[in-house]
């Protein structure tokens, strides 16, 4: 059914109950921010899984805490850093040992050139010297400097990332740099990916003139050698989840795991506990609990299932956000069985290769705390939007295929001593062209419902800082201004 005219909103504050559906980093951040804004508020977090944290998950592999989800966050955004500092983890943050990374191109691993702006080159010299492009590919990219291949479309109108980079910089730049880097972040296809949503400066750079020059002028100064680009919590990102969960419990939040929410009901509730307005009823585990407000911080498919019965158009918009499934294969391999020096953080594999593997992280080289004499720790990613071959494969077959593909890429000559396969179904929302318009409509319809907010990676950013910000914004939407993350 379509949403009825919204009942009058309830003013939230001390004594109000707010249900947060979803115990990933976005939902936990929303709960934290709510308690900052109104310390006497009763916050109940419902998480369907048996543990909090969502995709932030560390597990013991060979006696080390290894992240089988995101292993770091972008340091230039403040949200994750602020939260870690507020939780007493500021001194526990570590940076990768190297910034070097590679891409599989023209038959071997080649180092990514300097001057990339989220995979888009801004300088021709380093690009030409990298060997990633053929001589013809370099010439084609150079034509951008004289304005060849101006993209069509109305100024400022959203378009696909590849629809900008391919006409301006050529197929090779798009397939071997832009798609592995931009597409790799989202496990997506840059032919469908919204430039406005994933990299707005690229949309601005599509103006007449050179894309490379536009981006070079717009790009911030590169970080100095002592300024980290990424940070990780020593001992694994689960430590952030554990610290946040403990702090929330200490502030009175109720954290319910293995508690999948089956239904959300919105009912007028005049006079209940002195309130006069709408009430939500949360159904989970055969129980029902009333709340003055709800934050839905789940993946888009779950949010659509919960909110569709309240507003069918809202549910349809959420359900229309595509999702990609990814599998992570983590391996302990004898050092003697790896012929190639692990002199960087790892490498990317372009989709044009036809390989199942999309990327490989050299974990024990990237994070020195994971080094163990005599062995290296590798993590391969499998699956991207449009490539679901791994879905029909057993864990053993995926691991076997990954080892076979890594063999020639990094001279892998040994059978792994241990292999851990972790599947992340529908874990990567796809920001397709028009995504921001869809999100604006979702937010408009959510705002028309009383005391409801949404958060999560499906909206305005997939990284850890973006999800934390999403949770904060959801809390602010319910309680107004004054949400401060740094308070304990």
DSSP secondary structure code for residue 38 in this structure:
-
Same domain, 286 and 203: no
Residue 254 Ramachandran class (φ > 0 left, ψ -120 to 50 alpha, else beta): beta
Task: Please report whether residue 168 resides in a domain.
Answer: yes
Q: Quick one: pLDDT at residue 64?
A: 92
Q: Quick one: pLDDT at residue 41?
A: 94
Same domain, 455 and 310: yes
Q: How confident is the model at residue 401 (pLDDT cuts 50, 70, 90)?
A: very high
| Angle made by CA atoms 155, 160, 162, in degrees to the nearest 5 | 110
For the chain, give percent helix, strand, coil, nearest 5.
40, 25, 35
Same domain, 447 and 369: no
Q: Quick one: pLDDT at residue 200?
A: 94
Same domain, 459 and 381: no
**Given 429, 444, 463, which residue is the final one in a domain?**
429
Residue 487 pLDDT greater than 60, yes or no: no
58-61 and 108-111 strand pairing? unpaired
453: CATH: 3.50.50.60
Scanning the structure block, which residue is given the tokens 């850890």?
464
**Given 429, 452, 471, which residue is the final one in a domain?**
429
Residue range 195-199: mean pLDDT, rounded: 96
Same domain, 307 and 442: yes
What's the pLDDT tens digit per position in 62-116? 999 999 999 999 999 999 999 999 999 999 999 999 999 999 999 999 999 999 9
Average pLDDT across the chain, whole number: 92
Task: Please report whether residue 33 resides in a domain.
Answer: yes
Same domain, 445 and 466: yes
CB 444 within 8 A of CB 436: no
Q: Quick one: pLDDT at residue 154?
A: 59
Full domain range(s) for residue 28: 17-55+236-321+432-479
Cα–Cα distance, 67 to 54 (Å, whole number): 12
What's the pLDDT tens digit per position in 133-181? 999 999 999 999 998 776 555 567 999 999 999 999 999 999 999 999 9
Residue range 259-270: mean pLDDT, rounded: 87
The two three-digit tokens of residue 285, written as one number: 């585990």
358: CATH: 3.90.660.20
The two three-digit tokens of residue 322, written as one number: 């595509």
Same domain, 372 and 464: no
Number of domains composing the chain: 3
Q: Quick one: pLDDT at residue 482?
A: 36
Cα–Cα distance, 14 to 279 (Å, whole number): 16
Task: Please report whether residue 81 resides in a domain.
Answer: no
Cα–Cα distance, 7 to 18 (Å, whole number): 17
Task: Please report whether residue 202 resides in a domain.
Answer: yes
Cα–Cα distance, 33 to 25 (Å, whole number): 12
368: CB partners within 8 A, 6+ apart: 97
214: CATH: 1.10.3110.10
Cα–Cα distance, 456 to 46 (Å, whole number): 15
481: CB partners within 8 A, 6+ apart: none
Cβ count near 234 (within 10 Å): 14
Task: Please report whether residue 6 resides in a domain.
Answer: no
Residue 486 pLDDT greater than 50, yes or no: no
**What's phi and psi for 353, nearest 5 deg?**
-70, -25
Q: Quick one: pLDDT at residue 277?
A: 58
Percentage of the chain exceeding pLDDT 70? 93
238: CB partners within 8 A, 6+ apart: 53, 56, 57, 58, 65, 67
Reduce the DSSP state of residue 103 to 3 states and report it. Answer: strand
Task: Please report whether residue 254 resides in a domain.
Answer: yes
Same domain, 328 and 423: yes
Same domain, 301 and 250: yes
CA dihedral 195, 199, 205, 207 (to 10 degrees): 30
DSSP secondary structure code for residue 432 in this structure:
B
Q: Quick one: pLDDT at residue 273?
A: 44
246: CB partners within 8 A, 6+ apart: none
Task: Please report whether residue 147 resides in a domain.
Answer: yes
Task: Please report whether residue 151 resides in a domain.
Answer: yes
Same domain, 281 and 316: yes
Same domain, 190 and 147: yes
Beta bridge partners of 429: 323
Cβ count near 178 (within 10 Å): 26
What's the pLDDT tens digit per position in 4-48? 444 445 678 778 999 999 999 999 999 999 999 998 999 999 999
Q: Is 208 exposed, middle or buried (0-12, 13-18, 19+ CB in 10 A)?
A: exposed
Tell me the CB-side half-sphere exposure of residue 243, using CA atoms within 13 A.
18
CB 478 within 8 A of CB 12: yes
Cβ count near 355 (within 10 Å): 18
Same domain, 305 and 344: no
Q: How far is CA 21 from the centre of its chain?
A: 19
Lowest mean pLDDT: which of 3-7, 355-359, 400-404? 3-7
Residue 274 pLDDT greater than 60, yes or no: no
């Amino acid at each position: 059914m379509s949403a009825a005219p919204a009942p009058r909103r309830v003013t939230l504050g001390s004594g109000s109950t707010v249900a947060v559906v979803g115990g990933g980093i976005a939902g936990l951040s929303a709960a934290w921010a709510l308690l900052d804004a109104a310390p006497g508020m009763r916050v109940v977090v419902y998480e369907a899984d048996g543990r909090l944290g969502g995709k932030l998950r560390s597990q013991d592999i060979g006696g080390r805490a290894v992240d089988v989800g995101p292993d770091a966050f972008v340091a230039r955004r403040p949200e994750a850093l602020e939260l870690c500092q507020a939780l007493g983890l500021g001194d526990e943050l570590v940076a990768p040992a190297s910034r070097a990374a590679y891409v599989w191109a023209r038959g071997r691993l080649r180092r990514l050139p300097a001057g990339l702006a989220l995979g888009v080159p801004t300088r021709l010299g380093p690009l030409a010297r990298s060997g990633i492009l053929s001589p013809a590919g370099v010439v084609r990219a150079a034509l951008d400097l004289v304005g060849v291949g101006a993209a069509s479309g109305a100024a400022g109108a959203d378009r696909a990332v590849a629809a900008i980079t391919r006409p301006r910089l050529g197929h090779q730049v798009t397939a071997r740099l832009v798609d592995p880097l931009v597409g790799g972040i989202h496990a997506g296809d840059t032919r469908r990916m919204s430039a406005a949503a994933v990299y707005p400066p690229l949309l601005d750079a599509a103006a007449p003139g050179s894309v490379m020059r536009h981006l070079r002028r717009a790009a911030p100064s590169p970080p100095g050698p002592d300024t980290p680009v990424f940070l990780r919590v020593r001992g694994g990102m689960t430590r952030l989840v554990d610290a946040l969960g403990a702090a929330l419990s200490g502030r009175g939040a109720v954290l319910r795991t293995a508690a999948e929410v089956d239904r959300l009901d919105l009912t007028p509730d005049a006079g209940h506990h002195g309130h006069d307005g709408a009430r939500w009823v949360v159904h989970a585990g055969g129980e029902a609990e009333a709340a003055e407000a709800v934050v839905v911080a789940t993946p888009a498919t779950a949010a659509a299932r919960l909110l569709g019965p309240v507003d069918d158009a809202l549910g349809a918009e959420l359900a229309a956000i595509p999702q990609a499934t990814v599998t992570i294969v983590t391996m302990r391999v004898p050092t003697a069985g790896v012929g190639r020096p692990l002199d960087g953080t790892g490498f990317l594999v372009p989709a044009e290769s036809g390989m199942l593997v999309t990327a490989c992280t050299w974990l024990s080289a990237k994070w020195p705390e994971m080094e163990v004499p005599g062995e290296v720790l590798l993590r391969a990613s499998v699956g991207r939007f449009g490539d679901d071959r791994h879905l029909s494969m057993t864990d053993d077959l995926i691991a076997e295929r990954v080892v076979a593909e890594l063999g020639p890429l990094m001279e892998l000559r040994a059978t792994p001593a241990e292999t851990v396969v972790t599947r992340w179904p529908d874990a990567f929302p796809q920001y397709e062209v028009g995504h921001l318009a869809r999100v604006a409509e979702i937010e408009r319809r959510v705002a028309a419902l009383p005391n409801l907010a949404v958060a999560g990676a499906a909206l305005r950013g997939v990284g850890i800082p973006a999800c934390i910000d999403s949770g904060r914004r959801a809390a602010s939407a319910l309680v107004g201004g004054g949400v401060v993350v740094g308070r304990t």
